[in-house]
């Protein structure tokens, strides 16, 4: 286990290195003088000079990179041009909001996705199975910002049951917090649920046709026990890893969902920064998101080994 | 007689080209055919948009602002009195163009790089693979947004951003496929008779990995259409007043209380286009993937 962990951590180094190179390299896409582009509306020569100095734009590109990555490693992601605050502080402020949304979305998608996937596999080639597959296809093909807009129309405008937008923190007012986040969490969880549903269905089908399930049935165990205890437990192991690979979709989805529901999280931060040409924030958020995603995948890999006794040794 | 007939049948079947066989298998799948028909319809609509639309999609009319669907305006009108039906039809151009162009960029870059990784030496492979891993580690839309942000907002830049973001998918797929086929006898034989590596890659390996690439490209077009709509929704794609489904939804959100129809049609159009590419992709996978046979 320790050896596995060590190997897996070593593998992260080159990936993280190239991630940092790519995100730093985004700066090179800026058309014209980068200092001018970064300054936005500002045309004051003193400000431009300060930007050139801060980003070391007069130095060769690898020197610029080394300074940037050095800063990142010591926890300095730069400063927001617009808000005049360190990028890391901004991210730390927004992170809990997106985390709450993502966790709620995961709970929703796990309950719908895994549940429906198991039912669909058990009822293979029946109308229920077809219906579940259709719903999954619908979930994958619906843009979540459209779903969000339609749900706002239904639940906020037409029925008036839930607020159309905004966010209240869980610590401030748990009930209102739930009311403001339930729709966005459902929207965010929707496509993730569809993907989980497909993974669970195929893993369950494989498990249901295996020898140990046949043995369990031959022993005369009730079908419920066979499905829930024998097949499902084994089928869910690959779903963990496959599910973790889709967490990136969830993080991407958060950008649009937060925009539609005006939720002040990570996604809204990156979009607002894009329009204010606050490039340091765009880079910072992208870097933190990528790192989070990489670490989540590592956790999923560890969980995979822990659940699977054959791999533990 | 029966034996002779069976013989002819065997000969006919075995003479069927792989393309014809895949086509026949695809046509057996009703949902895939439906997807294909809808896609062809969308393409026709996009190409002949000026002939189909009753109004100029950018023509404003202050006397018909936010009118609900009627015989005159089938889908209603928007906040500037523009005909929504015409805008949805013209919007198909931006979406399909973005889907096809960005995935062409991804294929054009991803396949040669993937061939290089799979067929090149160990170091080339290691470096390309690590860069691919790194790009795949950044969530798709976030990387596309970041690139589009630095490139500047326009449909063309959105297509470049989506294309570059989708490239690693094709690098990884091509590399994996090359690794699998390069140990096959026919590739060994081609090498043994002294064919240069480039010729082997293009003449012998590429045709064999084509099915997997076609399936992935079809599904990726669906992802690219959603990505373009997302970028346009955020204001990073097609710029107003040119119509695009994503930007129409952005505007529609502001008028949800008094003009909800503005939000229905563009969303439905994205959904239908994406759904069609997804089910066609599923059907193609069944028809083309040798592992499924």
Give residue A26's pLDDT band: very low, low, confident or very high (50, 70, 90). confident
Q: Which of residues 176-235 of B touch A (CB under 8 A)?
A: 222, 226, 229-230, 233-235
Interface contact flag, B130 A18, Cβ < 8 Å: yes
Output phi, psi for A79, to 5 deg.
Answer: -125, 145
**Is the pLDDT score of A40 beyond 90?**
no
ipTM of the shown complex:
0.86
* Average pLDDT rounded to a whole number, residues A35-45: 73
Which candidate, B236, B219, B266, places its Cα nearest to that of B144?
B236
Q: For residue A267, what is the nearest residue in chain B, using CA coordinates? A: B142
Segment A295-306, tens digit of pLDDT: 888 888 887 777
Cis check for the bond before B241: say yes or no (omega within 30 of 0).
Answer: yes
Give residue B88's pLDDT band: very low, low, confident or very high (50, 70, 90). very high
Q: Is residue B34 packed enough to be buried (19+ CB in 10 Å), middle (13-18) or exposed (0-12)?
A: middle
Residue appearing with tokens 């939000």 = B263
Output phi, psi for B236, to 5 deg.
Answer: -105, 0
Q: With beta carbons less than 8 A apart as the criterion, state whether A130 and A165 touch.
A: no
Read off the tokens for A147: 């779903």
Which residues lie closer than 8 Å to B278 by C-beta, 6 or more apart? A137, A140, A141, B35, B219, B222
The radius of gyration computed from the CA coordinates of chain A, to the nearest angstrom, equals: 24
Segment B188-246, tens digit of pLDDT: 888 888 888 788 888 888 888 888 899 999 999 999 999 999 999 999 998 888 899 99
Which residues lie closer than 8 Å to A281 by C-beta, 6 or more apart? A78, A80, A87, A90, A269, A270, A273
- Tell me what pLDDT residue B162 has: 95
Average pLDDT over all residues of chain B? 87
- Tell me what pLDDT residue B128 has: 93
Which residues lie closer than 8 Å to B30 by C-beta, 6 or more apart? none
Please give the residue that has the higher pLDDT: either B17 or B14: B17
Interface contact flag, B270 A143, Cβ < 8 Å: yes
User: Rounded to whole angstroms, how far apart are CA atoms B140 and B26?
Assistant: 30
* Average pLDDT rounded to a whole number, residues A87-95: 90
Read off the tokens for A183: 């729709």
- Tell me what pLDDT residue B92 has: 93
Segment A177-200, tens digit of pLDDT: 999 999 999 999 998 899 889 889
Segment A189-245, tens digit of pLDDT: 998 899 889 889 988 888 888 888 888 888 888 888 888 888 887 788 778 777 777
DSSP B211: H
Which candidate, A176, A166, A179, A146, places its Cα nearest to that of A253?
A146
Segment A118-165, tens digit of pLDDT: 999 988 889 999 999 889 989 989 998 999 999 999 999 899 898 888
Residue contacts between A and B (CB atoms, under 8 Å): 143
Q: Does A152 touch chain B (CB under 8 A)?
A: yes
- Tell me what pLDDT residue B293 has: 40
Output phi, psi for A144, to 5 deg.
Answer: -70, -20
**Is the pLDDT score of B5 beyond 60?**
no
- Tell me what pLDDT residue A274 has: 84
**Is the pLDDT score of B65 beyond 60?**
yes
B108: Cα separation from own chain's centroid: 14
Percent of chain A with pLDDT over 90: 24
Name the pTM for this structure: 0.88
Please give the residue that has the higher pLDDT: either A310 or A49: A49
* Average pLDDT rounded to a whole number, residues B161-181: 92
Output phi, psi for A68, to 5 deg.
Answer: -65, -50
Q: With beta carbons less than 8 A apart as the criterion, state whether B173 and B213 touch.
A: yes
Q: For residue A282, what is the nearest residue in chain B, using CA coordinates? A: B146
- Tell me what pLDDT residue B112 has: 93
Which candidate, A263, A231, A274, A271, places its Cα nearest to that of A105?
A263
Percent of chain B with pLDDT over 90: 43
Cβ neighbours of A28 (radius 10 Å):
10
**Is the pLDDT score of B153 beyond 60?**
yes
Residue appearing with tokens 């229920």 = A128
Read off the tokens for A159: 């029925």
User: Rounded to whole angstroms, how far apart are CA atoms A135 and A193?
Assistant: 10
Which candidate, A237, A231, A228, places its Cα nearest to that of A214?
A231
Write out chain A residues lying below 8 Å of B235, CB-based: 275
Q: Which of residues 207-226 of A touch B (CB under 8 A)?
A: none
Average pLDDT over all residues of chain A? 86
Which residues lie closer than 8 Å to A46 by C-beta, 6 or more apart? none
Q: For residue A152, what is the nearest residue in chain B, using CA coordinates? A: B256
User: Rounded to whole angstroms, how far apart are CA atoms A168 and A177?
Assistant: 5
Q: Which residues pair with B77 in a beta bridge?
A: B83
User: Rounded to whole angstroms, how far apart are CA atoms B224 and A197?
Assistant: 22
Output phi, psi for A86, to 5 deg.
Answer: -60, 140
Q: For residue A156, what is the nearest residue in chain B, using CA coordinates? A: B257
**Is the pLDDT score of B7 beyond 60?**
no
DSSP B65: T
What does each C-alpha distance from A198 to A12, A235, B26 come to in angstroms?
Answer: 29, 12, 22
Interface contact flag, A286 B257, Cβ < 8 Å: no
Q: Which of A150, A253, A282 sits opposite B263 (nearest CB)?
A: A150
DSSP labels for chain A?
A: -HHHHHHHHHHHHHHHHHHHHHHHHGGGGS-S-HHHHHHTT---HHHHHHHHHHTTTTS-HHHHHHHHHHHHHTT---B-TTT-SBHHHHHHHHHHHHHHHHHHHHHHHHHHHHHHHHHHHHTTTSHHHHHHHHHHHHHHHS-HHHHHHHHIIIIIIIS--S-SS----TTT-HHHHHHHHHHHHHHHHHHHHHHHHHHHHHHHHHHHTSHHHHHHHHTT--HHHIIIIIIHHHHHHHHHHHHHHTHHHHHHHHHHHHHHTT--SHHHHHHHHHHTT-HHHHHHHHHHHHHHHHHHHHHHHHHHHHH-HHHH-
Segment B237-292, tens digit of pLDDT: 988 888 999 999 999 888 888 888 999 999 999 999 999 999 999 889 888 865 54
Q: Give how far B14 is from chain A: nearest CA, Å.
A: 32
- DSSP H or E stretch at residue B16: none
Q: Does B162 touch chain A (CB under 8 A)?
A: no
Alpha helices in chain B (DSSP H): 2-15, 18-27, 30-47, 49-52, 84-119, 122-137, 140-151, 155-181, 185-192, 197-199, 206-234, 245-254, 261-288
Dihedral sign (CA B24, B25, B30, B35): negative
Q: Does B280 touch chain A (CB under 8 A)?
A: no
Between CA A264 and CA A272, with CA A269 as vertex, the angle to 5 degrees is 110
Give residue B4's pLDDT band: very low, low, confident or very high (50, 70, 90). low
Q: Which of residues 70-89 of A touch B (CB under 8 A)?
A: none
A230: Cα separation from own chain's centroid: 31
Residue of A136, A137, A143 to mutate for B, most B C-beta atoms under 10 A? A143
- Tell me what pLDDT residue A313 has: 56
Please give the residue that has the higher pLDDT: either A292 or A241: A292
């Amino acid at each position: 286990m320790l050896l596995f962990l060590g190997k897996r951590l070593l593998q992260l180094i080159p990936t993280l290195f190239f991630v940092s190179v790519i995100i730093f390299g985004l700066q090179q896409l800026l058309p014209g003088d980068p200092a001018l582009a970064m300054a936005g509306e500002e045309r004051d020569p003193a400000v431009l000079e300060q930007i050139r100095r801060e980003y070391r734009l007069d130095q060769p590109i690898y020197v610029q990179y080394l300074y940037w990555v050095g800063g990142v490693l010591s926890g300095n992601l730069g400063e927001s041009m617009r808000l005049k605050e360190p990028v890391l502080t901004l991210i730390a402020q927004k992170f809990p909001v997106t985390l709450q949304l993502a966790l709620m979305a995961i709970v929703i998608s796990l309950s719908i996705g895994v549940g429906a996937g198991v039912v669909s596999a058990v009822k293979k080639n029946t109308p229920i199975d077809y219906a579940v597959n259709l719903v999954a296809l619908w979930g994958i093909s619906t843009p979540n910002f459209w779903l969000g807009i339609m749900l706002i129309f239904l639940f906020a405008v037409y029925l008036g049951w839930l607020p159309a937008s905004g966010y209240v923190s869980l610590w401030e007012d748990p009930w209102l917090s739930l009311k403001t986040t339930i729709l966005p969490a459902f929207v965010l969880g929707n496509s993730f649920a569809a993907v989980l549903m497909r993974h669970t269905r195929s893993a369950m089908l494989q498990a249901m046709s295996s020898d140990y399930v046949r043995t369990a049935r031959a022993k005369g165990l009730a079908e419920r026990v066979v499905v829930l205890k024998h097949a499902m437990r084994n089928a869910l192991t690959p779903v963990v890893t496959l599910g973790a690979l889709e967490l990136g979709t969830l993080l991407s989805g958060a950008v649009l969902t937060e925009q539609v529901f005006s939720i002040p999280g990570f996604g809204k931060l990156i979009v607002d920064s894009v329009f204010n040409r606050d490039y340091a924030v765009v880079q910072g958020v992208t870097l933190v998101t990528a790192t989070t995603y990489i670490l989540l995948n590592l956790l999923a890999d560890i969980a995979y080994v822990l659940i699977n006794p054959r791999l533990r040794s | 007689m029966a034996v002779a007939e069976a013989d002819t049948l065997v000969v006919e079947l075995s003479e069927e080209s792989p393309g014809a066989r895949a086509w026949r298998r695809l046509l057996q799948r009703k949902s895939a055919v439906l997807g294909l028909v809808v896609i062809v319809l969308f393409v026709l609509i996009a190409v002949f948009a000026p002939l189909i639309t009753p109004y100029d999609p950018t023509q404003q009319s202050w006397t018909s602002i936010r009118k609900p669907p009627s015989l005159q305006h089938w889908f209603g009108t928007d906040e500037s009195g523009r005909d929504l039906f015409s805008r949805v039809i013209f919007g198909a151009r931006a979406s399909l163009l973005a889907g096809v162009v960005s995935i062409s960029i991804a294929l054009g870059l991803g396949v040669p790089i993937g061939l290089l990784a799979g067929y090149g030496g160990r170091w080339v492979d290691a470096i390309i693979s690590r860069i691919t891993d790194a790009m795949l580690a950044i969530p798709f839309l976030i990387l596309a947004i970041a690139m589009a942000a630095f490139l500047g907002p326009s449909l063309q830049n959105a297509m470049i951003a989506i294309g570059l973001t989708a490239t690693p998918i094709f690098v990884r797929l091509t590399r994996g496929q090359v690794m699998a086929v390069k140990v096959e006898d026919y590739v060994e034989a081609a090498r043994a008779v002294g064919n240069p590596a480039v010729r082997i890659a293009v003449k012998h390996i590429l045709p064999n990995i084509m099915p997997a690439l076609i399936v992935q490209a079809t599904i990726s077009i669906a992802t690219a259409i959603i990505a373009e709509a997302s970028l346009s929704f955020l204001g990073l794609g097609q710029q107003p007043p040119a119509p695009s489904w994503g930007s129409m939804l952005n505007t529609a959100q502001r008028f949800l209380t008094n003009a909800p129809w503005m939000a229905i049609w563009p969303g439905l159009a994205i959904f239908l286009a994406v759904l069609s590419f997804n089910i066609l992709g599923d059907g193609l996978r069944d028809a083309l993937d040798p592992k499924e046979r």
